């Protein structure tokens, strides 16, 4: 699933807002730095997911017979 930059930024704000409301969470960095790190973590995770998707698609395409996307066999592979 691909997220736009705007959605990633929105998520980072929601996460930081949630952390601010949690009395058990204490941080010692600037909130903007924390939010930027959250954005970086989400972006890095999205890149990892995309790389995995490419590898999986290559594996599926290398099969001798056609495997329909979304089928049970597709999900297993």
The pLDDT score that the predictor gives to residue 56 is: 85
Q: What pLDDT sits at residue 77?
A: 72
Q: Give the three-class secondary structure for 60.
A: helix
The full set of domain ranges for the chain reads 5-76
* Integer angstrom CA distances of residue 65 from 22, 27, 34, 62: 52, 54, 48, 9
Tokens of 54: 């490419």
The CA distance from 60 to 8, in Å, is 30
Mean pLDDT, contiguous 10-residue spans, the chain (77 residues): 91 95 91 95 94 86 78 78
- Spacing of C-alpha 45 from chain mean position: 4
Quick one: tokens of 22?
């949690």
């Amino acid at each position: 699933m691909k997220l736009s930059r705007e959605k990633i930024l929105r998520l980072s704000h929601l996460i930081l807002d949630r952390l601010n409301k949690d009395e058990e969470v204490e941080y010692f960095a600037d909130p903007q730095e924390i939010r930027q790190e959250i954005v970086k973590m989400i972006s890095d995770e999205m890149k990892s997911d995309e790389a995995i998707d490419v590898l999986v698609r290559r594996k599926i395409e290398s099969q001798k017979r056609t495997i329909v996307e979304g089928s049970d066999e597709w999900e297993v592979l």
